[in-house]
Amino acid sequence: MEGSNPDYVKFPARHWKLFGTDRVWFAPDHLLLVVSNFGISEDYKRFYFKDIQAVNVMKTVAAKAKAIVGSVLLLLWAILAALLFSFSDMSVGGTILLVLIGAGLAAYVISRFVRGPSCRCVVYSSVQRQVLSPVKSIKTADRFLEKLVPQIEAVQGKPDISLMDQGENHIQAPEPALASHVAEKPLKQISDKWHWILYLGLLLLSALVVATMLMRSPVISLAETFIYAAVFIINIVAVVKQTGSTLPTSLKSAGFVSLVLMILTVFLGYVNMVYFMFQTPDEMAKIANNTWEMVKYFAQLDVFEYPFLLWVNVFLAASCAVVGIWGVIGLWRKEE
């Protein structure tokens, strides 16, 4: 009981978590999933080769979404760095910090592209359905299946192809089996109108941000504020509706990414406000209690004179456009 089993062979894949990693190990007769709890204890789940009924690998868009977000952040970092170098005298410490952030972002984006597409790997037995968190890229899944399938077939024998040719569902298993896993959680059908409004709203918002930057009109700025608030509310509704629905994963991911984007821009807005409070305390004190005056003040600012404000605007316009296009293309493809 106290000893370790020397027969376990580590499968080279891991799922990083806060202070720990999940791993998969192969024993002569079973597969072991080790789930780490903050690195101070481990939970074990065993899947005996004789009991495994099916392995299902699904390609996901997580890697693509992360690569897009990383690339957008890298692009925005490059714009910010160019602006800071052009408009202000950077100290050595600031330059080093900027280069380190850029290098970190570039390394992240490169690693995303090297790893390739992501996936979710699920193992079914007669009594459980388990997602194998360490097997999360297609490359890893291919290596995993190459190793796992022959071991299962060595124990269970080859699947009977003739049963499949009969056109009947050859995996109709006795209770409790695969059917029970499917019946556990029925998915709901939803209308995609909220998502259409959300992604078109994001595209409109992107256009309004650019218009405000270039035209410096308080009316456009006010319209941008209202559209922003509306898109935020619609985004929350869309994310609630898409939970547990049959909507494609890419559209669900776009919904989540846009919600994160909305929250992030609220935070950046506050940072921007604090920045101006320190830069121009007298003017801000005059307009602090008058929202219309505040809208007019910010609308008439020349963003090209304030690198941080410019960066926030470029970030908002670019990211809204990217997520909006992503969502519209996804919905379009779904309709087709």
Partner 1 sequence: MIACENCRTPISPEQINRNEYTPCGYCGTLLQTHVFPAANKQVSDEQKQPEIIVTDEAGCFYHPTKKAVAPCSSCGRFLCALCDIEMDGKHICFSCMESGAENNELDQLENHRFLADGLALRISFLPVLLPMFIWFTCITAPISIFYVVRYWNRTNSITPRSRWRFVAAFMFSGLQLLGWAALILMAVFK
The nearest distance, CB 294 to partner 1, in angstroms, is 37
- Kindly tell me which of 33 and 67 has the beta carbon lying closer to partner 1: 33
CB neighbour list of residue 260: distance below 8 Å, 6 or more residues apart:
none
The nearest distance, CB 249 to partner 1, in angstroms, is 5
State the burial class of residue 79 (Cβ atoms within 10 Å of its Cβ: 0-12, 13-18, 19+): middle
DSSP string, 15-77: EEETTEEEEEEE-SSEEEEEEEETTTEEEEEEEETTTEEEEEEEEESHHHHHHHHHHHHHHHH
- Kindly tell me which of 170 and 296 has the beta carbon lying closer to partner 1: 170
Task: Give SS3 for 11.
Answer: strand
The nearest distance, CB 4 to partner 1, in angstroms, is 5
- Kindly tell me which of 35 and 284 has the beta carbon lying closer to partner 1: 35
Residue pair 24/134 in contact (Cβ under 8 Å)? The answer is yes
Phi/psi at 58 (nearest 5 deg)? Answer: -115, 130
The nearest distance, CB 29 to partner 1, in angstroms, is 8
- Kindly tell me which of 104 and 159 has the beta carbon lying closer to partner 1: 159
The nearest distance, CB 67 to partner 1, in angstroms, is 17
- Kindly tell me which of 57 and 83 has the beta carbon lying closer to partner 1: 57
Task: Give SS3 for 209.
Answer: helix
